Structure 1
Amino acid sequence: MMLSTNQQSSTKNLSEQSRKVLAIRDDVFAEWEKRVRSLILGADEVSHPVLLDTLPLFYGNIAEALSPGFERANGASDSTAATGHGSERARTTEYKAVEIVHEYQLLRDVLFEVAKQHGIKFSGEEARIIRSSFDQAIRDAIEEFTALQRTFRERVAASLTHDMRSPLSVIVSGAELLLATSPGQSDKIARKILDNGLRLETMIQEQLDAIVQPAPHTAALPLAQVDALALARKVGEHVNDTTSAHCEVSGEAVTGWWNESALRRALENLALNAAKYGDGKAVSVKVAQTHGRVVISVHNCGNPIPDDRRKDIFEYLNRGEQSDKIGWGIGLPFVQEVAKRHGGTVVLDSSEQAGTTFTLDIPIDGRQFNGG
């Protein structure tokens, strides 16, 4: 069998210590697999070959790195075993990045434990090489894993925006026909359909532009003077028209330089989420200004967001665990991106006592941050 990623199949050039490490490899992986399947969520559903993946080759690389006759600095150097492992985990499992880190840590711990059981003692330098091997492997695997996850998400977003164009064209065409042939009250309905259809078309194009254009070179948003309170009231009307929740808007008029379309979409995402997750209770939107910044908060009294979800609440395609709620998980990341492109941020505050509040906090004059 191949011992490492350089196709090495013989131990004759290895040191005695390296051969001892290779001799316990089966014991190491047997114990490692037992621990992984019991400690890592989803690992018990992965077949044995998929679970081990490139790890045995990585182990062989460590044995080579422990031999003075080999130039391999550590088990992850001069090899893409760890990168391949990260890629496989992204494509074949439901793992998260933290679970990849955990399985490498388990393998490291088991290696030291089994070696001790077999009377293998490592020098300080040998222990350093082993730890260095795992440190670099974790970095390489996570880098590839996250890159692939990002690619998958971009493909999903591209597919969504592309597929929506066909039904959208039907909506717009039908609305135009209704507007031309139906007098009276139907005019108002047709105008609303048409306006929202055209607006959705703009959203789709913006989303496609964001996908195909690298983030560092994203074009500046076109900015204009916007009244935040008037914009919030439009959002409140939209929530009241489209949901059963009652949205109340209050605060002071604050005029600033922002992108009206992006800011409205961001507020709508927050307000519609508040209506969706607020169990039908009231949603309140407040507008204020302080120290040259506009602060727009959206509050509901639904169940609080758990502590373990707050750290990733703005991650792309993160929908949480409320399976009865429909959503694509792209709203909050979009809100965060809008805030960032205006030089600000989004703040989450959530507790059983106070409810949940998302606050959009951005400079009143976005021109200095956006370049527009």
Structure 2
Amino acid sequence: MTDKIIGLANADPEQLSDLTRAVLALRPKVVDAWKSNVQFELGRADELEPPILENTMPSFHDSLALLLTPAFHGRGEVDIAVVAAEHGGERARLTRYDTTTLIHELQIFRRVFFQALHDQDVQLTPVQSNAIHVSIDSAIRDSANAFAGVQAALREQFAAAMVHDLRTPLANAHLAAELILRAATLPQAQGLARRVLQNTARIETMARELLDNLLFVGGEGLPLRIEQFDMAALATETVEHAATFHGIDIRLEAVAAVGHWCRGSMQRALENLVSNAIKHGEPAALVQLWVEKTASRIKVSLHNEGKPIPIEDTESLFQMYHRAEAARSESIGWGVGLPFVRQVAESHGGSVLVSSTSEGGTTFSIDMPLDARPFVDAPMVG
């Protein structure tokens, strides 16, 4: 008789109830019947290799059996949750299942499990039977949640990798269009080159904002990688990027400012501020970028001319997927640029300041410490 737990619990068979040992003895019968039924009823299961199909189901069976020994009931519940979550995660990573298929195969397990008990005349009390049903219901929820979580993470990784890989050929296409525009003599060729430039700039902006959007999924904080660098050098790169992708010249005034920050997130924050200035500023007006510092803090500011932002609308600029009426435009975007800028600033122990008047134009400033290392793990409101 198979009376040894092969699940997570390290239990001596002598400590197990007769009922638990009786259910453990049914493991081969239950698992084999489950595999046959799943392959017959679920098309996507039929393509799986036997070890992948079986997965953690023997351990799941044993964890259910453990519920029938009062001293191990609590341990069985914990093991069921762990096994179910791992099952759901592996189904997301290793199969072409969808959520419906995952739930269906666990429902099949319930049916096969109780059928085997009936066939072998293993009698459960109503309380014991209900405990098994409740645990299977919990396992279905835990598996489905893990499955959804892994699938979401895989989609995010794919999208991030795809966007990252697209940016290099996109930059090359943009540069090629610039060369065509300079060399072309036919007005029609020049017009086509300008359209290419406009569209590559729009695609690049959307790709960058998509990367920012991925960081907000699930309300998680930014994964900062703090390193030492000169913010003036990063500002110079931002100006060059704007000239390449957006065809605008930004006046830069920057003092050398070496500090500890996350270079990647700061770069995207500055690019978002530039994109925002292009979308909502006067088309032909001067855009300016400043880098200033004191003994312990740094301020990076981007200024553009254009319609002022009413002070009562300022906060709405930083809300996810929301734009104030004064900031609305027909430009394409995900509505996460300025919220991302704020989160970058606050993740570094700083803040974003906005000054906007009809006479002085609009200035966004990131004001933060020269050394952000003490603030990396500080709690923030999501």
Shorter-chain TM-score above 0.5? yes
The alpha-carbon distance between structure 1 residues 50 and 220, as it changes in their structure 2 partners (threshold 3 A), is closer
Match in the other structure for 1:155: 157
Match in the other structure for 2:63: 61
Q: Which one of the candidate residues 10, 13, 17 is aligned to 1:11?
A: 13
Secondary structure at 1:136 match in 2 = helix
Which residue type is aligned with residue 207 of structure 1? L
Match in the other structure for 1:124: 126
The alpha-carbon distance between structure 1 residues 74 and 264, as it changes in their structure 2 partners (threshold 3 A), is closer
Match in the other structure for 2:84: 82
Structure 2 unaligned residues grouped into runs of 5+: 220-317, 336-382
Secondary structure at 1:45 match in 2 = coil
Match in the other structure for 2:101: 99
Q: Within 1, Cα distance between the matches of 2:334 and 2:103?
A: 39
Say if 2:68 and 2:128, in contact at 8 Å, map to a contact too: yes
Q: TM-score, normalised by structure 1?
A: 0.58
Q: Within 1, Cα distance between the matches of 2:9 and 2:152?
A: 32
Which residue type is aligned with residue 128 of structure 1? N
The alpha-carbon distance between structure 1 residues 184 and 259, as it changes in their structure 2 partners (threshold 3 A), is closer
Q: Within 1, Cα distance between the matches of 2:62 and 2:188?
A: 76
Please identify which structure carries the higher helix content: 2
Secondary structure at 1:26 match in 2 = helix
Q: Which one of the candidate residues 186, 190, 213 is aligned to 2:189?
A: 186
Q: Within 2, Cα distance between the matches of 1:136 and 1:3?
A: 21
Is residue 2:260 matched to residue 1:260?
Answer: no
How many residues are aligned here? 234
- CA apart distance, 1:224: 5.1
Say if 1:74 and 1:130, in contact at 8 Å, map to a contact too: no
Match in the other structure for 1:297: none
Say if 2:202 and 2:332, in contact at 8 Å, map to a contact too: no
Task: Give the aligned CA root-mean-square deviation in angstroms.
Answer: 2.5
Match in the other structure for 2:49: 47
Matches within 5 A, 1:1-372: 3-8=5-10, 10-72=12-74, 75=77, 79-180=81-182, 181-214=184-217, 216=219, 219-223=320-324, 258-262=328-332
The alpha-carbon distance between structure 1 residues 143 and 174, as it changes in their structure 2 partners (threshold 3 A), is same
- CA apart distance, 1:39: 0.6
> Which range moved further: 76-85 or 143-152?
76-85
Secondary structure at 2:331 match in 1 = helix
- CA apart distance, 1:199: 1.1
Q: Within 2, Cα distance between the matches of 1:69 and 1:205?
A: 55
Say if 1:73 and 1:129, in contact at 8 Å, map to a contact too: no
Q: Within 2, Cα distance between the matches of 1:26 and 1:215?
A: 40
The alpha-carbon distance between structure 1 residues 186 and 86, as it changes in their structure 2 partners (threshold 3 A), is same
- CA apart distance, 1:213: 2.9
Q: Deviations over 1:33-58 (max 9, x none)?
A: 11000011221121222211111111
Q: Deviations over 1:197-220 (max 9, x none)?
A: 111111111111111234549745
Q: Deviations over 1:211-258 (max 9, x none)?
A: 123454974554557xxxxxxxxxxxxxxxxxxxxxxxxxxxxxxx84
Asked which structure has the greater CA Rg, the reply is 2
Q: Within 1, Cα distance between the matches of 2:151 and 2:98?
A: 10
Say if 2:89 and 2:146, in contact at 8 Å, map to a contact too: yes
Say if 1:179 and 1:186, in contact at 8 Å, map to a contact too: yes
Q: Within 2, Cα distance between the matches of 1:28 and 1:94?
A: 24
Q: TM-score, normalised by structure 2?
A: 0.56
The alpha-carbon distance between structure 1 residues 69 and 221, as it changes in their structure 2 partners (threshold 3 A), is closer
